[in-house]
Every structure is written in C-alpha cells, then in structure tokens.
Amino acid sequence: MGAVKVLLRNPRREVEVPGPVGAVALLRQLGYVREAVLVIVDGALVTGDATIPDGAQVEIRPVVSGGAR
C-alpha cells in the first residue's frame, strides 16, 4: 500500500508512516507541537482535523525561527 511520505526540515529528511492518518495524530506520532509547525499535504495547507490519505506527500514545516534579532 502507498504509505504517507513525510518531508521534515532542519535538517531536511524524509520518513514514511502508514496512512490514512489524521494531521494531529501524525504530529503527535512524530513528536511535534502543533503550534510549532504547518502541515502541507500535496502542496496545500491543511487544518488539524484533516485526514491524510495513503500515498499523500506531506511536508511538516517548522515555523519557529531563532536568533536574538
């Protein structure tokens, strides 16, 4: 079956998880805090209640930038 492919950043890497999976569940599974990332599914932003289908290409994009500016 086509798993869900997940692109992670900082550093850039890819993992696979079994689908379908809820966006919030996916974040919890991978240890992310919702407030600190965006979930982008096949190029489109989704909300926490979205279900991510098998075969989808997901990006978990961190939004926290550092540096004492």
Partner 1 sequence: MKCRVCRAPAVVEVRRHNAGFCRDCFLGHCRSQVERAVKEHRMMGPDDRVLVAVSGGKDSLALWDILVELGYRADGLYIGLGIDGYSGPSGEQARAFARARGLELLEVDLPADYGYDVRSGAAADRRVPCSACGLSKRHIFDRVAVQGGYDVVATGHNLDDEAAVLLGNVLRWDLAYLARQRPVLPGGEGFPRKVKPLVKLGEREMAAYCVLKGIDYQVEECPMAAGNRHLGYKEALNVIEERSPGAKASFYNGFLERGSELGAGTAAAEREGLHPCPSCGAPTTSAVCAFCKLVEKAGGDPRRRLPVSAR
Binders of ligand SF4 among residues 40 to 69 (CB under 6 A) are 66-69
Nearest to partner 1 of 1, 67 (CB atom) = 67
Kindly state the smallest distance separating residue 64's Cβ from ligand SF4, in Å. Answer: 12
Nearest to ligand SF4 of 47, 65 (CB atom) = 65
Question: Can you tell me the distance from the alpha carbon of 53 to that of 64, in angstroms, rounded to the nearest whole number?
Answer: 27
Q: 23 by DSSP, 3-state: which?
A: helix
Q: Which two tokens stand for residue 49?
A: 């209640």
E strand or H helix that includes residue 51: strand 51-52
Site residues (vs ligand SF4, CB under 6 A)? 66-69
